[in-house]
Amino acid sequence: MKGSEDIMVLRVTGLASGMNIDEIVENMIKAQSIPLNKIKQQKTLLEWQRDSYREMNTLLLDFRSQLTNMKLSSFYRTRSVSSTNEELVSATVASAAGQASYTISKISSLAVAESRMTATGISSESSKVDTTKSLFTIQKDFANTISWKQGSVESKSIVTKEGEPITLGLADGVQITDVENMTVEVNGKKYMVIDSGTPNSGEVMVNKDTGELTFGDTIAANSTVKVNYVTDKKVENKTITNETTQIQLKGALVEGQIKLSFKDGTGENIELSDQYTGIDKNGNRIGQIKDGDEVVGEINYETGVITFNPKFSDYFPAETEDSKEKPKLEMTITSQQNYFSFGLTTHTSKGQIDETFLIQGSESLNSVMSKVNNSKLGVTMFYDSYSDKVTMTRKETGVYNENGQEIEFTEGDFLTQVLGFQNVTPENSGNYIEAKNATFTINGLETSRQSNTFSMNGVTFTLKKTTDEPVTINVNNDNDALYENIKSFVDKYNELVEKIEKKLSEPKYKDYLPLTDDERENLSETQQEKWEDMAKSGILRNDSILSGLITQMRTAIYSGVNQDDLDSTMKSLSAIGITTTADFTSAKLEIDETKLKAAIEKDPNSIELLFNGTGATDGQKGVIQRLYDKVNATMDQLKERAGNSYSVNNQFTIGRQLDDLDDRIERFEDRLANLETRYYSQFTAMEQAIQKANSQAAYLAQFFQ
């Protein structure tokens, strides 16, 4: 019990008197607890009231969102668009577009994207290219030879840190090569790479020996630096156990450039090297891993897999019974792979885009095309196995490079020689489609667009065919859409009013108070739920904030709107067919459809002013502006009274009242705890007195026996 921690009372429960002391004390405390139960019930009622206010605030928030939409001019300026020939020109319209008529009298040409197709097949006469296999494996299947380079293609992403250098972290003895094809991006922005001198803005200098990057611009901390680069060799460290039979390196390896270095079990430095032996039955280049003249494994240069034979296990330390781990070797592996590079430039609506691709020999033609298609170049590249040809098409139509081609091959010969795009030019029209703009005449003006779909004054046109036949596009008011918008508002308004009026008129059952703990014990769950529903009923009956809002909204709805350009016969909602229902006790609205549609047809501009007009005074403001102000003010009042889910109690009125009740409850419970202790002390004293009296009576009785 609270407040009784420091009071130690020996409780004697009726041994002498025969009375049920616990039950007596419990009943006495229950009698004293009646005021405490009333305080707890008061607290529960306040919590219910708080939750009901918050529920109302959520409804108002939803309604305010509707009002926010209705404050947009697009809500009223509904437009429809029609074309006299949809097969030639179609159109869509934005809500705020002006009423207008457009005549496209001639479409001279449609916008076309640049496209190329190789003139001849890319495969050799003996075998067709398999687009799923590694390029180095199938290189002889191409009609033209691939020019290979040797090194190691790498990619790294670095998140910069304040005050720390930006470096690729090269292994000892490794150098960056092929700097001209190295790419560096910082948060998507490309930098020109140099390998000497001081970088200017937009440049980055790379130290080929250390891999450190020095930018001409200040690079903020937490920036993402993405780098694609080539090193003269790859050096990697692997830990292997005596159970290891294979290790995996990159594919398309260069023969005679594989080195495996480690210390054997005796501490002796060992260096294994590769020796090319020929082509296996699957067409893969294979070789041996040797220690001098002794063969300890095999290597597949195409897949990069090294397989060790049993002799390799001799290098490991001997395994003993006391060994807690498998014997292992720390191995350093040096290798080179075959690769090539190529560059592409496209001219697009976003400007000139340059991309460089580093292609490993282990990649397939499908992988190469996927890289191109997923790049920022905006082109689509694919191979047709039936014709054995490759096509490349820019995704955007139109001319963006007035002085040349839209797609340019800037580096390497893979696209031009191996895939055969070198002779695909405007002069070779059979395999080249030149980019063109759409040219047309609209309302007497001859003009041009880079796309067949374009926007003008809120109208989006789509040209479909060249023609000399005039096509007219008409933009008109969509009165049905405006009617539906207004009807949607009235429905939302009525929904809100119905829920508020239900709360305001809900019956109050004074005999049903929140259940106490003792009362709950005597009721089933179903009975408890029914009781609680009755106790919650009427919690906001005749609430001043909500009833005040209903009055304010009714006034906002019915008061006239004073706007200079507003039709004098349309200055109130009732004038356009929006009135209260026949039930005079409700503020709900109903629509005279015929009257409202006639008003919309007569003057949609006045409809907009009636609902959405602005002004310095309430009389000048449209109905929506007024309602928005009233709802906003009421939401502030409700928040001041009941807070929200993020509020703490001392920030709103009911919360402060709840805190005060919690303090009263705590003090009352302390008093009851002390009272209970006092009762038990008194009964204990009584029991002791009775026991003493009984002892004395027994003592005296023995003298009369």
- pLDDT tens per residue, range 231-282: 999 999 999 999 999 999 999 999 999 999 999 989 999 999 999 999 998 8
SS (H, E, C) 405-452: CCEEEEECCHHHHHCCCCCCCCCCHHHEECCECEEEEECCEEEEECCC
Q: For 560-585, how does the pLDDT look when each residue is reduced to its tens digit (9 = 90+)?
A: 999 888 989 999 999 999 998 877 77
pLDDT winner (highest mean) among 317-331, 377-391, 512-526, 582-596 = 377-391
Of the pLDDT bands very low, low, confident and very high (cuts 50, 70, 90), residue 490 is: very high
Which distant-in-sequence residues (6+ apart) come within 8 Å of 170 by Cβ? 176, 209, 210, 211, 231
Residue 191 belongs to what H/E stretch? strand 189-194
Q: Render 148-178 in DSSP notation, one character per residue.
A: -EEEEEEEEEEE--TT--EE--PPTT--EE-
In terms of Cα–Cα distance, which of 312, 283, 288 is closest to 298? 288
**pLDDT confidence of residue 7:** 41
Q: Which residues contact 174 (CB under 8 A, 6 or more apart)?
A: 231, 232, 233, 234, 235
Q: What share of the chain has pLDDT > 90, as a percent?
A: 68
Distance CA 292, CA 543 (A): 98
The pLDDT tens digits for 287-299 are 999 999 999 999 9
Measured CA to CA, the distance from residue 32 to residue 5 in angstroms comes to: 21
> Hey, what are 270's tokens?
């060992």
Please choose, from the candidates 467, 470, 471, 446, the residue with its C-alpha nearest in 3D space to the C-alpha of residue 459.
Answer: 471
Check residue 5 and give its pLDDT. 41
Confidence of residue 8 (pLDDT cuts 50, 70, 90): very low
Residue with tokens 């930018």: 215
11-20, 368-377, 619-628: lowest mean pLDDT where?
Answer: 11-20
Residue with tokens 């009002």: 67
Q: Quick check: 182 and 231 in contact, CB under 8 A?
A: no
pLDDT score recorded for residue 6: 43
Residues with Cβ < 8 Å from 50, sequence gap 6 or more?
A: 642, 643, 654, 655, 658
Q: What are phi and psi of 592, to 5 degrees?
A: -90, 100
Give the chain's count of helices (H) and strands (E).
Answer: 11, 33
What is the CB neighbour count within 10 angstroms for residue 612? 20
| Distance (Å, whole) CA 63 – CA 549 | 13
Residue corresponding to tokens 């109130």:
572
Using a 10 angstrom Cβ sphere, with 0-12 exposed, 13-18 middle and 19 or more buried, the burial of residue 290 is middle
Secondary structure (DSSP) of 337-358: EEEEEEEEEEEETTEEEEEEEE
How many alpha carbons lie under 13 Å from residue 289 in its C-beta half-sphere?
A: 26
pLDDT of residue 190: 95
pLDDT at 323 over 90: no
Q: Which residues of 439-474 are buried (b: 16+ CB within 10 A; e: fewer)?
A: bbbbeeeeeebbbbbbeeebbebebbeebeeebebb
DSSP, res 32: H
Distance CA 350, CA 261 (A): 51
- In this predicted model, which residue has the larger pLDDT, 95 or 14? 95
In angstroms, the CA 528 to CA 507 distance is 19
Confidence of residue 73 (pLDDT cuts 50, 70, 90): confident
Q: What is the DSSP letter of 217?
A: S
| pLDDT single digits (tens) 659-695 | 999 898 888 888 888 888 888 888 778 878 888 887 8
Higher pLDDT, 317 or 422: 317
The number of beta carbons lying within 10 Å of the beta carbon of residue 294 is 11
Contact between residue 329 and residue 244 where contact means Cβ atoms under 8 Å apart = no
- Could you tell me which residue, 636 or 11, shows the higher pLDDT? 636
Dist CA 380 CA 382 (whole Å)? 7
Mean local confidence (pLDDT), 438-444: 96
In whole angstroms, what is the distance from residue 459 CA to residue 473 CA?
9
Q: Among 377, 338, 339, 341, which Cα is nearest to 356's?
A: 341
Q: Specify the pLDDT at position 394.
A: 95
Q: Is 198 exposed, middle or buried (CB count within 10 Å of its CB: 0-12, 13-18, 19+)?
A: exposed
**Band of the pLDDT at 370, cuts 50, 70, 90?**
very high
The Cα–Cα gap between 453 and 694 comes to 111
| CA separation, residue 196 to residues 154, 233, 612 (Å) | 21, 22, 65
Q: Is the dihedral of CA 46, 47, 51, 57 positive or negative?
A: positive
Angstrom distance (rounded) from CA 60 to CA 628: 10
- By the 8 A CB rule, do 642 and 54 touch? yes
User: What is the rounded average pLDDT of the residues 296-308?
Assistant: 96
Check residue 610 and give left, alpha or beta (phi > 0: left; psi -120 to 50: alpha).
alpha
Which of the four pLDDT bands, split at 50, 70 and 90, describes residue 15? low
The answer to whether the beta carbons of residues 492 and 106 sit under 8 Å apart is: no
What is the model's pLDDT at position 210? 94
- Better-scored residue on pLDDT, 410 or 519: 410
**What pLDDT score does 4 carry?**
41
CA dist 260 and 237 (Å) reads 10
Tokens 């009646």 locate to 34
Mean pLDDT of 641-654: 89
* Residue 31: predicted pLDDT: 77
Phi-psi region of 222 (alpha: psi -120 to 50; beta: other; left: phi over 0): left
Q: What is the mean pLDDT of residues 200-223?
A: 96
Weakest-pLDDT range from 223-227, 440-444, 494-498, 614-618: 614-618
CA nearest neighbour of 214 among 229, 231, 201:
201
Q: Report the mean per-residue pLDDT for the chain.
A: 90
Q: Name the 3-class secondary structure at 120.
A: coil
Q: Is 206 helix (H, G, I), strand (E, B) or coil?
A: strand
Rounded mean pLDDT, 146-174 = 95
The H or E element that residue 331 is part of is strand 328-335
**pLDDT score, position 17:** 64
Average pLDDT over residues 119-132: 92
Question: CA angle, 173 as apex, 170 and 174 as ends, to 5°?
Answer: 45
Q: Which two tokens stand for residue 279?
A: 């082509």
Q: How far apart are CA 676 and CA 71, in angstroms?
A: 65
What pLDDT is recorded for position 589? 92
Collapsing DSSP to helix, strand or coil, 63 comes out as: helix
**CA gap 308, 305 in Å, rounded:** 10
Euclidean distance between CA atoms 247 and 266, whole angstroms: 23
DSSP states of 544-594 = HHHHHHHHHHHHHHHS----TTS-TT-SSTGGGTEEE-S-TT---EEE-HH
Provide mean pLDDT across the span 203-211: 96
Q: What letter would DSSP give residue 99?
A: P
pLDDT score of 14: 55
- Structure tokens of 397? 């139509």
Query: So what's the pLDDT on residue 705?
Result: 64
- pLDDT at 307 exceeding the cut of 80: yes
Q: Which of 611, 619, 603 is nearest to 567 (CA)?
A: 603
pLDDT > 70: percent of the chain:
96
Q: What is the mean pLDDT of residues 479-497?
A: 93
pLDDT surpassing 70 at residue 49: yes
Query: What is the gyration radius of the CA atoms in the chain, in angstroms?
Result: 44
> In 3-state terms, the chain is what percent helix, strand and coil (to 5)?
35, 30, 40
Strand, coil or helix: what is 116?
strand
Longest dimension (CA), the chain: 146
Answer whether residue 71 shows pLDDT above 70.
yes
- Check: CB of residue 340 under 8 Å from CB of residue 146: yes
Q: Is 240 helix (H, G, I), strand (E, B) or coil?
A: strand
Strand partners, 157: 226
pLDDT at 388 over 60: yes
